[in-house]
Amino acid sequence: MTRWLAFALVLPLSTTLVGMTPPSDAPAKPKLVLVKAVDVSATEFKWEPALITVSPGDTVRFEQTTTTPHNVEFKAAPAGAELGEAKMGPFLVTAGEHYDIVIDKRFTAGLYQYVCTPHEVMGMKGSITVGAAGK
């Protein structure tokens, strides 16, 4: 009879755990979003992908793929954004080198437009849309 009592106490607990799902309003796990600096030709450069969407907590990694110097300079940001030193990143000159930006309190929700300073006129432009927290 003691075995049946123990089984009866365990069964409801096990059933509850198996059927549980995480709450839908739980914040998403931060992710790493890779953006590569690509030399298409001697006169054409681009960010790949050029358009990305991120959430607060995510990290955007700008990665160098060649030896042509590239950097990241934000040209436009939504009201309330205070990028500070992140407004212009360092020049990347070695393949595999990268520059990371964490989407933290400096970044308000909205559209951020950026360029590679020396290659802006050659089309090296991109944008980051920062969504609301948990989106």
pLDDT tens per residue, range 63-103:
999 999 999 999 999 999 999 999 999 999 999 999 999 99
pLDDT of residue 84: 94
Evaluate whether 92 touches 62 at the Cβ level (below 8 Å): yes
Residues 124 and 3: their CA atoms lie apart, in Å, by 71
Mean pLDDT value of segment 112-131: 97
pTM above 0.85, yes or no: no
* Amino acid at the residue 19: G
Residues above pLDDT 70, as percent of the chain? 77
Sorted by where each begins, the domain ranges of the chain are: 32-130
The CATH superfamily label for domain 32-130 reads Cupredoxins -  blue copper proteins (2.60.40.420)
Residues 53 and 132: their CA atoms lie apart, in Å, by 11
Evaluate whether 61 touches 110 at the Cβ level (below 8 Å): no
pLDDT tens per residue, range 51-65:
999 999 999 999 999
